[in-house]
Amino acid sequence: MKTEKEKMISGEYYNAFDPELVKGRRAAKNLLHSLNVKEYRVTKKAKEILKELIPNAGAGFYIEPPFHCDYGYNIFAGENVYFNVNCVVLDCAPVTIGSNVFIAPNVQIYTASHPLDAELRRTLENAYPVTIGDDCWIGGNSVICPGVTIGKGCVIGAGSVVTKDIPDNSLAVGNPAKVIRKLNQEPESTK
């Protein structure tokens, strides 16, 4: 029989009040308090806190506090990933971020979801993974919804709400975000 944590990570309905999950969130919140309140600046101690909070991050992983997440251990990041201030990652399911990714201020990445049925929603929730490819730039105040994959080399315009997958090398903007052009093509205005 699967644990609630295993159910959570695999996208099944799970009980978020399971003691193991509550303990994991509490541990993350304690580390976030140390990062966001006690350190706040990016110091040697802040880097140590980040390594403990997000153990699956590559070299050059950098976060400007404040930062918020649910667990931390479900964030998998390549090399040279930069989060600007006030980002939120609800990492109930895995959040996989490639290398050389820039994430602007106030970006929110959600894996957490809830049943549409109100009665079921009272006791259970679920989560779907989010993937961001290498060499992406996610513009400020963007929201990436559960289950979305953003391909390599994409730019997501500021304020966008990404509800569906975005193919490689695309510029996507809006609410909901739509691909307005491929990035390896000249814009119409320059032709």
Bridge-based pairing of strands 87-90 and 108-110 is parallel
177 pLDDT higher than 80:
yes
From the candidates 5, 29, 47, 114, give the one annotated as an active-site residue: 114
68 annotated active-site: no
Residue 101 near residue 134 (C-beta atoms within 8 A) = yes
In this predicted model, what pLDDT tens digit does every residue of 61-115 receive, in sequence order?
A: 999 999 999 999 999 999 999 999 999 999 999 999 999 999 999 999 999 999 9
CA-to-CA separations, 35 to 30, 32, 42, 46, 69, in angstroms, rounded: 9, 5, 9, 6, 12
* pLDDT one-digit tens code per residue, 115-134: 999 999 999 999 999 999 99
Quick check: pTM over 0.75? yes
Average per-residue pLDDT for the chain: 95
Residue 187, amino acid: P
